[in-house]
Structure 1
Amino acid sequence: MLLASLVVQQQVPIVFMHSFLSYAWMMDGIINKLQKINPDWQLINCEVGNGALDTFFMSLDEQTDELSKCINNDPRTQNGFIGVGYSNGGFLMRHYLQKFNHIKAPMLRYVGLSAPAAGFFCGVESDCWILKTLPEKLNTYIHDNIYQVWAQRNLGPTAFWRDPYQLDQYKKHSSVLAHIDNTNTINETYKKNFMSVDRLVLFGSPKDGLIQPWQSAWFGVFAENSEHDVILMEDRYEYIHDTFGLRSMNEQGRIRRIDSGISHLEYMVHQKFIEELLEPELRMEL
């Protein structure tokens, strides 16, 4: 039974999680616009640790625990909530869903705003804004060591870094993404929790300009040894074998892939997107 069936026709609180290298207040543009449209909605804005630096220098497991504290310390979420994650915050929301939905305040709907739901990679043939400002030797060192235990435990983005040139290392040493994708072994709790929401609402766009590949927002991934060829959701191994419930959710009509038509940084401020595309997807009666 879907958790969402417990709250049919009842609007629930909406929890927001900000992006990488940012703070909770940067979500105020979205939140304020939604609050004006629906003054009675309960909107909760979560922070990870001390904000921007902790999104990088805190393990993703610890970040998800911080998100969990924000959600579960608020009594309004105890009967369920809608999780809205922007960029890296969308990955944290996905991790919360699969890690905690059976034991803590339940997410009833997942909404990703240009979230790297299927991982992220850049920097060999493609331009990489995360690393391009670093000295070349340091950039190379990070690339060569990103699947080392120390990196996976201490640098948040490494947990969803899916390197198409090092897929064997990724599968063996990824601290989060390969686990919640059930790539190597099947964790039935992760699969059950993933499927416990009423739907997945996935906003992405070819105009994104930051998430690589942009199709990660729709569970697409780079093909092996390529930063140009993309394997779309339905063609992935994990989809075909339904390792974590993606195929079941899609065949049940519970996945919405929506082209936002905007670039990555516009999600927080683009009034037409917020009013015409996002707001309707946050109504539980739909």
Structure 2
Amino acid sequence: MYRRQTHIVCMIVCQCFLTAAYKHVIFMHGILSGPWESSELEAYIQQVHPGTNVTSIDAFTFLGSLTTMWTQVYKIQIQVHQIMEENPEGIHLICYSQGGLICRGLLSILQHNVESFVSLSSPLAGQFGDTVYLKYLFPTYLKENLYKFFYTERGQNISVANYWNDPHHQELYRMWATYLPVLNNETHNEQSFKFKENFLRLKTMVLVGGPDDGVIAPWQSSQFGSFDSNETVIPMREQKWYINDSFGLLTLDKRKAVHLFTHHGVQHVHWYRNRTIFDCCIEPYLT
């Protein structure tokens, strides 16, 4: 009887020790969706790291995700900051699609303790393309003329417009887009030094995307690539804000903290539920 009780106690202690070793994971959903996106991902995490605390952000769901990006960032940061305080040993961020850009904002405004930021097919360098999402929201517009609405005071009330990066109208982009140029320190920003300092607190950044995504345009935006005026993709390491280290990306890259993964055959809505992607690009960074 004594041996049996001792065995049970040892099992409980070991389980508590293992659970404590796994850092809290926060998942940020994509546009026109919600926290339920993470259900399969959470199941994968529990299989390999049982007992891991996972928080899927339940805010700005469905059409609420079209709220301006800064509004989303500053509201969500309250919950994220609390989780950080409760987990001084560090946390992980897994962020999908538009959620990846929201997480970029969190990494800029917070003195965070994020160990790994895993970005799944996020428009980190902006969006410029006709997609099913845009056709749903703006059925009469083409990508070539969306700037006429997006780069206006009224247009900037929509999240997508805050990071719409039209390569043919860069002056208007920097003048009007209220989110992405600010994060990139492409425009005047009184908090630019603080943004960069906070971003550099990050230990590891994992950038996942691929050519069969079908939504993020160009798909290389998931790895900080964007179009030039000829709609040829400028890769991350050739971007001006990378070369100038405007927000710390060059420094992170020199630290070997930036990991790029390109996968073929994965459509946009499958990145967070694909087991191969999890095993390759997510699980190794959840230590």
Measured against the shorter chain, the TM-score band is 0.7 to 0.9
Structure 1's unaligned 5+ residue stretches are 1-8
SS at match of 2:133: coil
SS at match of 1:162: coil
| Corresponding position of 1:253 | 256
- Please state how far the C-alpha of 1:45 moved relative to its aligned partner: 0.8
Equivalent in 118, 127, 135 of residue 125 of structure 2: 118
Once the two structures are overlaid, the 10-residue window that deviates more, 12-21 or 251-260, is 251-260
Equivalent in 265, 273, 277 of residue 277 of structure 2: 273
- Please state how far the C-alpha of 1:129 moved relative to its aligned partner: 2.1
- In 1: Cα distance, 2:53 partner to 2:23 partner: 7
1:10-49 paired onto structure 2 within 5 Å: 11-49=22-60
- Please state how far the C-alpha of 1:139 moved relative to its aligned partner: 8.2
1:61 aligns with 2:70: yes
1:241 aligns with 2:248: no
Once the two structures are overlaid, the 10-residue window that deviates more, 168-177 or 66-75, is 66-75
- In 2: Cα distance, 1:210 partner to 1:77 partner: 35
- In 2: Cα distance, 1:137 partner to 1:266 partner: 27
Post-superposition Cα deviations, 1:19-75, rounded to whole Å, max 9, x if no partner, equal 0010111211111121122112111111223x111101x111111123213323446
Post-superposition Cα deviations, 1:173-195, rounded to whole Å, max 9, x if no partner, equal 21011011011346111111111
- The answer to whether the 8 A contact 1:47-1:70 is kept is no
- In 2: Cα distance, 1:219 partner to 1:63 partner: 21
| TM-score, structure 2 normalization | 0.84
The residue identity in structure 2 corresponding to 1:146 is: F
1:203 aligns with 2:208: yes
- The answer to whether the 8 A contact 1:34-1:275 is kept is no
| Corresponding position of 1:89 | 99
| Corresponding position of 1:150 | 154
- In 2: Cα distance, 1:77 partner to 1:119 partner: 32
SS at match of 2:100: helix
- Please state how far the C-alpha of 1:82 moved relative to its aligned partner: 1.0
| Corresponding position of 1:219 | 224
Cα distance, 1:139–1:257 mapped onto 2, change above 3 Å: closer
The residue identity in structure 2 corresponding to 1:95 is: G
- In 1: Cα distance, 2:139 partner to 2:114 partner: 41
| Corresponding position of 1:171 | 174
| TM-score, structure 1 normalization | 0.85
Structure 2's unaligned 5+ residue stretches are 1-19
- The answer to whether the 8 A contact 1:112-1:203 is kept is yes
Cα distance, 1:120–1:40 mapped onto 2, change above 3 Å: same
- In 1: Cα distance, 2:24 partner to 2:180 partner: 27
Cα distance, 1:141–1:260 mapped onto 2, change above 3 Å: closer
- The answer to whether the 8 A contact 1:47-1:67 is kept is no
The residue identity in structure 2 corresponding to 1:109 is: S
Percent identity of equivalent pairs: 26
1:52 aligns with 2:55: no
- In 1: Cα distance, 2:135 partner to 2:54 partner: 36
- The answer to whether the 8 A contact 2:128-2:218 is kept is yes
- The answer to whether the 8 A contact 1:18-1:86 is kept is yes
SS at match of 2:126: coil
- Please state how far the C-alpha of 1:263 moved relative to its aligned partner: 2.2
- Please state how far the C-alpha of 1:243 moved relative to its aligned partner: 0.9
1:121-136 paired onto structure 2 within 5 Å: 121-122=128-129, 127-133=130-136, 134-136=138-140
- Please state how far the C-alpha of 1:277 moved relative to its aligned partner: 2.9
Post-superposition Cα deviations, 1:89-145, rounded to whole Å, max 9, x if no partner, equal 111001110022x2xx532321101111111111xxxx4323334442698875312
- In 1: Cα distance, 2:141 partner to 2:23 partner: 49
